[in-house]
Amino acid sequence: MFDRNKRTSSTSSMVRAGIATLAALCALSVSGSAWAQGAQGHTFGLGIILGEPSGLTLKQWFNPSNALDVHLAFDFTDDALAVFSDYLFHFDAFRISSGAGVDLPLYVGIGGKLLVDANDNNKNNDKDTAVALGARVPIGLAVLLKKAPLEIFVEIAPGVLIIPRTTADIDGGVGVRYYF
């Protein structure tokens, strides 16, 4: 899946550092110190995303314009399990009357992507490596319902896989999150 011949020992160290960074971001995403701006003022949302990749998604709001999201999904293009984590900045781009039942913030973010080969081709093929690491820039639109604890969103995330080799990448999907 990923070319192991171009991998060095410093790449191995970078992969470990990337995994540690993603794990720290995931831990932050469930911290209780956030104050809400999700659907109906709740702080933590859990749901699904369908697209490339498809899987579970969660979001933790830190204030009315900043949040962290994490996707635990399957990437069909790379045939890999995927973990994404993004720090998001939300903007009130569309002014809706105060009587409307939704808020429509646009968002942009910066994040990381970890792929793990789902087929474990690594067992008998020294040319494959089971791990890839990259960066991404998600851009999306959220629909935050005021009368239900739901968020519906659509996003596209151009990016680049950095390890084991540099290549352009793009993700995207539609999803829904229920807020607690």
Range name among 14-18, 39-43, 64-68, 83-87 with the lowest pLDDT average? 14-18
Q: Is the pLDDT of residue 8 over 80?
A: no
What CATH number is given for 2-179 in this structure? Answer: 2.40.160.20
The mean pLDDT value of the chain amounts to 81
Instruction: Sketch the domain layout of the chain as residue ranges.
Output: 2-179
Give residue 4's pLDDT: 38
Residue by residue, DSSP assigns the chain as -EEGGG--HHHHHHHHHHHHHHHHHHHHHT-TT----SGGG-SEEEEEEEEESEEEEEEEESSSSEEEEEEEEEETTTTEEEEEEEEEEEE--S---TTSSEE--EEEEEEEEEEEETT-GGGT-TTEESEEEEEE--EEEEEEESSSSEEEEEEEEEEEEEESS-EEEEEEEEEEEEE-
pLDDT digits (tens, 9 = 90+) for 22-48: 455 444 444 433 334 677 788 999 999
On the question of pLDDT at 98 being above 90, the answer is no
pTM for the whole thing?
A: 0.76
148-180 pLDDT, tens digit per residue, is 999 999 999 999 999 999 999 999 999 999 999
